[in-house]
Chain A
Amino acid sequence: MYKSYAANSGTWAPLRERIRQTRRKGVRLSVLEDISFDVHRGEVFGVVGPNGAGKSTLLKLIAGIYPIDSGRIRVAGRVAPLIELGVGFRPELPARENIMINGVMMGLSRAEAERRTDEIIEFAELEDFTDLRLKNYSSGMRGRLGFSVMSHVDADVLLIDEILSVGDKAFRDKCGNVITSMRERGRTVVLVSHEMGSINRHCDRALLLFERRVQRIGEPEEVANSYLAVNTRKRLAAEARSDGDGEAAKVTALRFTSADGSEPSLPGRTPIEAEAEIELRRPLRTPEVRFTILDSGGRPLYVAPPRPLEPGLDRVSGRFRISAKIENRLASGRYALMCRVSEPDDEEGEEGLRSPGRWLTFAIEGPDEMGSVVSLDSEIDVEAEGMKIDQPELEVG
Chain B
Amino acid sequence: MSAVAEPALELREVRGPTAFGDSRERFWELLWLSAVTDFRMRYIDAVLGYFWALMRPLLTFGIIFLFLRQILNFGGRIDNFAPFLMMNIIMFQFFQETTSRGMRALSSKEGLVRKMRFPRIVIPLSSSMTAAFTLTLNLMVGCLLLLVFGLYPTVSWLVIPVCAGALIVLATGLSLFLSVAFVRLPDVVQIWGVIARVLFYGTPILYPIELVPSSIRPIVMANPLSPIFIELQKAVTDPTGPTVVQAAGGVWHALIPIVIGISICVFSVWYFVREAPAVAEAL
Binding site for B on A (CB under 8 A): 5-6, 8, 11, 15, 18-19, 22, 40-43, 60-68, 72-77, 79, 81, 83-84, 87-88, 90, 92-93, 97, 100-101, 104-107, 109-110, 156, 183-186, 204
Q: A22-B185, A68-B16 are in contact. Are A105 and B30 (CB under 8 A)?
A: yes
Contact of A75 with B14 in the complex, beta carbons under 8 Å: yes
The answer to whether the Cβ of B80 comes within 8 Å of any Cβ in the partner chain is no
The answer to whether the Cβ of B194 comes within 8 Å of any Cβ in the partner chain is no
Contact of A88 with B26 in the complex, beta carbons under 8 Å: no
Select B14's contact among A5, A61, A105, A204, beta carbons within 8 Å: A61
19 additional A-B residue pairs with CB within 8 Å, beyond A68-B16, A74-B14, A84-B115: A8-B282, A41-B3, A42-B3, A61-B14, A62-B14, A64-B14, A64-B117, A65-B117, A67-B15, A74-B11, A79-B117, A84-B111, A88-B112, A88-B116, A101-B33, A101-B34, A104-B29, A110-B33, A184-B4
Select A67's contact among B4, B8, B17, B111, beta carbons within 8 Å: B17
Q: A5-B281, A84-B111, A186-B3 are in contact. Are A66 and B26 (CB under 8 A)?
A: no
Cβ of B45: which chain A residues have Cβ within 8 Å of it?
92-93
C-alpha spacing A92/B41, complex, angstroms = 7
C-alpha spacing A287/B222, complex, angstroms = 88
Cβ of A88: which chain B residues have Cβ within 8 Å of it?
111-112, 115-116
The answer to whether the Cβ of B214 comes within 8 Å of any Cβ in the partner chain is no
Cβ of B1: which chain A residues have Cβ within 8 Å of it?
40, 42-43, 183, 204
Tell me which residues from 1 to 54 in chain B have a Cβ below 8 Å from any Cβ of chain A: 1-4, 6, 8-17, 25-26, 29-30, 33-34, 37, 41, 45
Contact of A42 with B2 in the complex, beta carbons under 8 Å: yes
Cβ of A61: which chain B residues have Cβ within 8 Å of it?
14, 16
Interface size of B as a range: 35 or more
The answer to whether the Cβ of B266 comes within 8 Å of any Cβ in the partner chain is no
Using CB atoms, name the residue of chain B closest to A68: B16
Using CB atoms, name the residue of chain B closest to A102: B116
Contact of B9 with A65 in the complex, beta carbons under 8 Å: no
Cβ of A74: which chain B residues have Cβ within 8 Å of it?
11-14
Pairs across A and B, CB under 8 Å, 12 listed: A64-B17, A64-B117, A65-B116, A67-B15, A75-B11, A75-B14, A88-B115, A88-B116, A90-B37, A104-B26, A105-B30, A186-B4
Contact of A87 with B29 in the complex, beta carbons under 8 Å: no
The answer to whether the Cβ of B63 comes within 8 Å of any Cβ in the partner chain is no
Q: A66-B281, A186-B3 are in contact. Are A76 and B185 (CB under 8 A)?
A: no
Tell me which residues from 64 to 110 in chain B have a Cβ below 8 Å from any Cβ of chain A: none
Cβ of A109: which chain B residues have Cβ within 8 Å of it?
25-26, 29
Tell me which residues from 157 to 210 in chain B have a Cβ below 8 Å from any Cβ of chain A: 184-187
Contact of B33 with A87 in the complex, beta carbons under 8 Å: no
